Amino acid sequence: MKRDTILAIKLPGAGGSLEDYAVREPKSFRRPAKPFTRRALAAAHVVADPFSTREPWLEPAIDWEATIAYRRHLWSWGLGIAEAMDTAQRGMGLDWPSSLELIKKTLDAARDAPGAFVASGAGTDHLSLHKEFSIEEIISAYEAQCASIEKLGGRIILMASRALAARAKSPEDYARVYDRILSQVKEPVIIHWLGEMFDPALEGYWGNRDHHAAVENCLEILKRNKAKVDGIKISLLDKGKEVAMRRRLPRGVRMYTGDDFNFAELIEGDAEGYSDALLGIFDSIAPAASHALSALTINKKDEYHEVLAPTVALARHIFCAPTRFYKTGVVFMAWLNGHQDHFVMVGGQQSARHLLHFCELFRLADAAGLLSDPPLACARMKQLLAVHGCG
């Protein structure tokens, strides 16, 4: 069905000159009537407190009310929450004490949200980046964070460790750490393999810079500990590597796609299986993702792809290199759609992308039908343009 043009805004093009852009009516997305056939987790962002006197580059200041409200928004679309992950700026502005407080507040809120699912990131990020630690110290760091989350009644996502990547000398070092931690957890965990495109400090994870060799090392750990592994999320932005690994996972271990470039086809799957989802882009496209997953649940694959196709283009833009700055686009989308009153981020990360990036994001979000309140989105886009000397 054709969408009508309802507003016009002037946006700068590649050469810097202002061009007319016609904004269309938003698409109408259905909320889920029943559970999806895929587990779908959104890695959720945090909302900064713009009125805090804390220095934004040094100490996180969080608007807890707006942050938890956004999680309720995601739950309302049938999505689970992957809490305190890299989308929440873990390791890029959000420290471990703030992460633990965030996890506690989200778990508390989940008790009042029927069917709400939460899994939370445990890592070693309270260790200093300016010191090398022993394998035993890294194990102890993982144990401390896992114990803190389990004490709150939370489920664990075992995040990749910068400290381990810096210290490990061989695949055996990774095996030693993961075997120990997995032997102790109360419930099966999701293991997160975050590629170097998301975090350069994690290059060579699992003991090899070649991803194919790293997959072999990781699979050995999964096979030995399959009873304690719910699934693995890989964020390598390479669908071929994900599918190849997915087909070799131990029975009962899920593949959670972290591929924000190719998620639509990976979630649909093939005759040999499919990927569940743990995605940062789901924070930004929750209504479309929910509608599409509901269509897939009743085998309406044409509708699934029709809804998701324009969101893939949006995701590829938000996650373009340098990929680690994707959080800026995620928060920008939340601001455009009225989920927060400002475009200020923990660590000052709103400055991580340039103006033309935001303008193209605006166009792609409109093309996907995801500007839920076009007059508000246009007004806020004009504010950003004015700050940059346009208009």
The CA-atom distances, in angstroms, between 179 and each of 158, 182, 227 are 12, 5, 12
Q: Do the domain assignments include residue 378?
A: no
Q: Do the domain assignments include residue 282?
A: yes
Domain count, the chain: 1
Decide the pairing of beta strands 118-122 and 155-158: parallel
Determine the pLDDT at residue 374: 97
Determine the pLDDT at residue 1: 47
Q: Do the domain assignments include residue 361?
A: no
Parent domain of 233: 29-353
pTM over 0.75: yes
Q: Do the domain assignments include residue 379?
A: no
Determine the pLDDT at residue 17: 87
Determine the pLDDT at residue 391: 66
Q: Do the domain assignments include residue 383?
A: no
Q: Do the domain assignments include residue 189?
A: yes
pLDDT values of the chain reduced to their tens digit, one per residue, 391 residues: 467 778 999 999 877 789 999 999 999 999 999 999 999 999 999 999 999 999 988 999 999 999 999 999 999 999 999 999 999 999 899 999 999 999 999 999 999 999 999 999 999 999 998 899 999 999 999 999 999 999 999 999 999 999 999 999 999 999 999 999 999 999 999 999 999 999 999 999 999 999 999 999 999 999 999 999 999 999 999 999 999 999 999 999 999 999 999 999 999 999 999 999 999 999 999 999 999 999 999 999 999 999 999 999 999 999 999 999 999 999 999 999 999 999 999 999 999 999 999 999 999 999 999 999 999 999 999 999 999 998 6
Q: Do the domain assignments include residue 111?
A: yes
Determine the pLDDT at residue 2: 60
Determine the pLDDT at residue 390: 87
Which CATH number does the domain housing residue 51 bear?
Answer: 3.20.20.70
Q: Do the domain assignments include residue 288?
A: yes
